[in-house]
């Protein structure tokens, strides 16, 4: 199998395209790509993220899993960054008054898979996780 890292494509539902377009474009500062009146593409750190306007009556229930003593929202998505980028990005979000589900902290400290992480939601309620490993060889470590 070819292990070349390729961009992923992720499409997520949103209930207000304009509000979410502003969140991803202005708050997270993601470059915008193509769009229509029902969806918008963003460059999500080299990956393709598409926000799609969902039907007004669609319902999803929230699920959480306990991880390191915190309630991690399921589903969620995000990106793995280097520690310097994580620190810079988290500080930027704090200055922009993001409401965190789980504020930036070091998870699994001193254990295999030690990582910095943070969780927050977009205006449509989609949960995002941004994380970083000081040692990227720990990404899939057991």
- Based on the domain organization, do 41 and 83 belong to the same domain? no
Element (H, E) at 17: helix 17-22
- Based on the domain organization, do 74 and 120 belong to the same domain? yes
**For residue range 42-88, what is the model confidence (pLDDT) as tens digits?**
999 999 999 999 876 666 667 777 888 888 888 899 999 999 999 99
Instruction: Indicate the SS3 state at residue 16.
Output: coil
The answer to whether the pTM exceeds 0.75 is yes
Cβ-based burial of 114 (10 A; exposed 0-12, middle 13-18, buried ≥19) = middle
Q: How far apart are CA 56 and CA 44, in angstroms?
A: 26
- Based on the domain organization, do 86 and 132 belong to the same domain? yes
Of 89, 24, 80, which is closest to residue 51 (Cα–Cα)?
A: 24
Q: Is residue 86 part of a domain?
A: yes
- Based on the domain organization, do 35 and 85 belong to the same domain? no
- Based on the domain organization, do 36 and 70 belong to the same domain? no
pLDDT of the residue at 141 = 81
Which residues have CB under 8 Å from 26's CB, separation 6+?
none
Strands (E), 26-142: 32-35, 39-44, 47-53, 63-67, 70-74, 76-81, 100-107, 115-121, 127-132
Domain that holds residue 41: 9-53
Which has more confidence, 142 or 42?
42
Q: What is the DSSP letter of 75?
A: S
**For residue range 18-52, what is the model confidence (pLDDT) as tens digits?**
999 999 999 999 999 999 889 999 999 999 999 99
- Based on the domain organization, do 36 and 71 belong to the same domain? no
Residue 98 has pLDDT above 90, yes or no: yes
Of 107, 108, 78, which is closest to residue 93 (Cα–Cα)?
A: 78
Which has more confidence, 41 or 142?
41
Instruction: Indicate the SS3 state at residue 107.
Output: strand
């Amino acid at each position: 199998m070819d292990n070349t890292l390729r961009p992923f494509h992720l499409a997520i539902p949103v209930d207000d395209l304009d509000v979410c377009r502003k969140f991803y474009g202005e708050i997270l500062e993601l470059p915008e790509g193509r769009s229509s009146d029902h969806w918008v593409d963003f460059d999500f750190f080299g990956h393709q993220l598409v926000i799609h306007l969902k039907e007004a009556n669609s319902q999803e229930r929230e699920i959480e899993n306990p991880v390191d003593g915190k309630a991690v929202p399921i589903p969620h998505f995000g990106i793995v960054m280097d520690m310097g980028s994580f620190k810079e990005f988290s500080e930027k979000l704090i200055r922009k008054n993001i409401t965190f589900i789980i504020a930036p902290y070091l998870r699994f400290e001193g254990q295999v898979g030690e990582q910095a992480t943070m969780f927050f939601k977009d205006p449509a309620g989609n949960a995002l996780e941004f994380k970083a490993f000081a040692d990227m060889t720990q990404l899939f470590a057991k």
